């Protein structure tokens, strides 16, 4: 099998599995209790919190564990709204973008149903949002701006730092959130974490387990709890801690912190190699910015294309028969009949979007795998276009 769908999920690292195993077996204590086995669980959570914080240059006390990126995004939106409404008669206004993950877009729709005004900014043809677009949309009742760090479908890395600086120059009381699920552990986020109020991440995107995420909430930022009940996570997110998952998240973050430069270099090289080889296919369109040798504008491991004259789903099925795993876009929208909202937002026509495919690499992939996948894709496109 050649696995090229790492934006959907990643294979857990051996170090992650090894770290988790004791907490799935003998170390089963509830971290809220006071006896020794519970204290060991509590210590393990604290260690993981430090490891996850270190990856973005944050304080451990600003890391709050959740069930995943979707919960973190929901919490950022609904928590910000609940807190805003405590001291305002207006329902308020939020700014986000047309190409966000559905966890953001659905949260925005929910707030809209409560009376909140929502501005969804349209990106340019490469998927970029500008600071000026955000600035022009700010209103007196704006309480939240949320722009993703990197797009999960086309890999575009947004100028979050510049957007945050622009917002701060206009109003310092607007909360700034970024969905960094696709970027956490893939690129250096210390600069971004230093300028936003909240940041979402998920363990299974960087070799960690599924079902655990985090929301970074900068010290002093006020948002309401999303899950209410006990006093876990400093009273901000109730529920018995998922100790094995949290430990696994910490181990994955530690591994990413240690090897991020080498990871970026290898994935960028493999990405550009794949682009060069499939570029020989006639009528193939690259989605997102073309940045050969550079990872500042596009995620290192992201390849998104539209191939004219074919159905992308048919090509993916044929790739699967060859043992190659890829996708048509977001795993959360798999099976949707409508064209990708991201491709629509950047101006792809419906017939072009039908031929969309996303290949997302990891540093565990090899040049041989990349060459094989590109060759097979070229063969499959030829067959589909000839009707064979």
Domain boundaries, the chain: 2-8+262-386, 14-255
Average pLDDT over residues 328-334: 58
234: left (phi over 0), alpha (psi -120 to 50) or beta: left
pLDDT (0 to 100) of residue 223: 97
Categorize the per-residue pLDDT at 313 as very low, low, confident or very high, splitting at 50, 70 and 90: very high
What phi, psi does 331 have (nearest 5°)?
-65, -30
Distance in angstroms (rounded) separating the CA atoms of residues 316 and 326: 7
332 is catalytic: yes
Average pLDDT over residues 313-318: 96
Burial class of residue 380 in the structure, from the number of CB atoms within 10 Å of its CB (0-12 exposed, 13-18 middle, 19+ buried): buried
Q: What percent of the chain has pLDDT over 70?
A: 97
Least confident range of 33-37, 168-172, 326-330: 326-330
pLDDT at 91 over 80: yes
Q: What percent of the chain has pLDDT over 90?
A: 94
Average pLDDT over residues 165-176: 97
Distance in angstroms (rounded) separating the CA atoms of residues 296 and 268: 10
Q: Give residue-wise pLDDT tens across range 127-158.
A: 999 999 999 999 999 999 999 999 999 999 99
What phi, psi does 261 have (nearest 5°)?
-65, -45
2-8+262-386: CATH class: alpha beta
Place of tokens 């309480």: 143
pLDDT (0 to 100) of residue 339: 81
CB burial readout 10-21, b (16+ within 10 A) else e = bebbeebeebbe
pLDDT (0 to 100) of residue 70: 98
Distance in angstroms (rounded) separating the CA atoms of residues 112 and 315: 38
pLDDT (0 to 100) of residue 39: 96
Mapped onto helix, strand or coil, the DSSP state of residue 350 is helix
Q: How far is CA 85 from CA 49, 93, 226, in A?
A: 30, 11, 15
* Active-site entry in 52, 120, 325, 332: 332
Question: In CATH, what number does 14-255 get?
Answer: 3.40.640.10
């Amino acid at each position: 099998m050649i696995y090229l769908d790492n934006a959907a999920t990643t294979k857990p690292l051996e170090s992650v599995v090894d770290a988790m195993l004791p907490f799935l077996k003998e170390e089963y204590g509830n971290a809220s209790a006071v006896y020794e086995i519970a204290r060991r669980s509590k210590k393990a959570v604290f260690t993981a919190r430090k490891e996850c914080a270190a990856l973005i240059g944050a304080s451990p006390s600003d890391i709050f564990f959740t069930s995943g990126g979707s919960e973190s995004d929901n919490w950022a939106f609904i928590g910000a709204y609940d807190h805003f409404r405590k001291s305002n008669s207006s329902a308020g206004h939020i700014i986000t973008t047309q190409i966000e993950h559905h966890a953001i877009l659905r949260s925005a729709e929910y707030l809209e149903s409560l009376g909140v005004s929502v501005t969804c900014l349209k990106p340019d043809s490469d998927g970029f949002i500008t600071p000026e677009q955000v600035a022009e949309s700010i209103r007196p009742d704006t309480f939240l701006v949320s722009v993703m760090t990197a797009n999960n479908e086309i890999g575009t890395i947004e100028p979050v730092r510049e957007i945050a600086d622009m917002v701060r120059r206009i109003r310092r009381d607007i909360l700034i959130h970024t969905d960094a699920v696709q970027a956490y552990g893939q690129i250096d986020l210390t600069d971004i974490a230093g300028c936003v109020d909240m940041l979402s991440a998920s363990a299974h995107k960087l070799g960690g387990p599924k079902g655990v995420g985090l929301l970074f909430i900068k010290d002093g930022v006020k948002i309401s709890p999303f899950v209410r009940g006990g006093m876990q996570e400093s009273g901000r997110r109730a529920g018995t801690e998922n100790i094995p998952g949290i430990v696994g998240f910490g181990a994955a973050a530690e591994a990413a912190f240690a090897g991020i430069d080498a990871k970026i270099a290898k994935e960028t090289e493999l990405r550009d190699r794949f682009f060069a080889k499939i570029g020989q296919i006639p009528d193939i369109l690259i989605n997102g910015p073309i940045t050969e040798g550079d990872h500042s504008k596009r995620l290192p491991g992201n390849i998104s294309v539209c191939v004219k004259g074919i159905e992308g789903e048919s090509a993916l099925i044929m790739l699967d028969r060859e043992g190659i795993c890829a996708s048509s876009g977001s795993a959360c929208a798999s099976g949707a009949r409508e064209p990708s909202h991201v491709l629509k937002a950047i101006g792809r026509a419906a017939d072009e979007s039908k031929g969309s495919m996303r290949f997302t690499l990891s540093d565990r992939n090899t040049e041989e795998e990349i060459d094989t996948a590109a060759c097979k894709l070229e063969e499959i496109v030829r067959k589909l276009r000839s009707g064979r």
